Amino acid sequence: MANVSIVPYLFFRGNAKEAMEFYKSVFGGELHVQTMADSPQEMQMPGSKPTDVMHARLSGPVDLMASDSQQASEKAMKIELSINGGSADEAKMREMFGKLAEGGKVKMELQKMPWGDLYGQITDKFNIEWMMNIGDSMGG
């Protein structure tokens, strides 16, 4: 399980790119940003602007992910934990997904996504929200 990690995913109200550029200046690393305009129409959030960030990832000494979301609070209190692992760890990752779902709610079953990886979402029994990405294209 050397490729399994927990990466904070932060939600902002229209300023995710600015925030992630700030975190890059603080932590260093490599920043990749995908806007809604860069994303397939079916993946875009209702009510979003083309300049909103669909997904940003800072990779380096500190890994962070972020996007713009209508659900974000004014003080960035909307946070989900994202577990990422490579294809070689798929069996263990599926086991983790199942355990997190016990007593909770699967919001999205693990399924193949446009970026090529498996992806799913869970709210666990403690009301913590989790995202899981299994594959090699998004840092697994």
Answering whether pTM is above 0.75, one says no
Q: What is the pLDDT of residue 138?
A: 62
Rounded to whole angstroms, how far apart are CA atoms 136 and 114?
Answer: 13
User: Tens-of-pLDDT digits for all 140 residues of the chain?
Assistant: 667 888 989 888 889 999 999 999 989 999 999 998 887 777 777 778 889 999 999 999 889 999 998 887 776 667 788 888 899 999 999 999 999 999 999 999 999 998 899 999 999 988 888 999 999 876 44
CB contact set of 59 (below 8 Å; sequence gap of 6+)? 29, 30, 31, 32, 139
pLDDT the model gives residue 76:
60
Q: What does the pLDDT read at residue 1?
A: 63
**Overall fold of domain 5-134:** 2,3-Dihydroxybiphenyl 1,2-Dioxygenase; domain 1 (3.10.180)
Domain ranges of the chain: 5-134
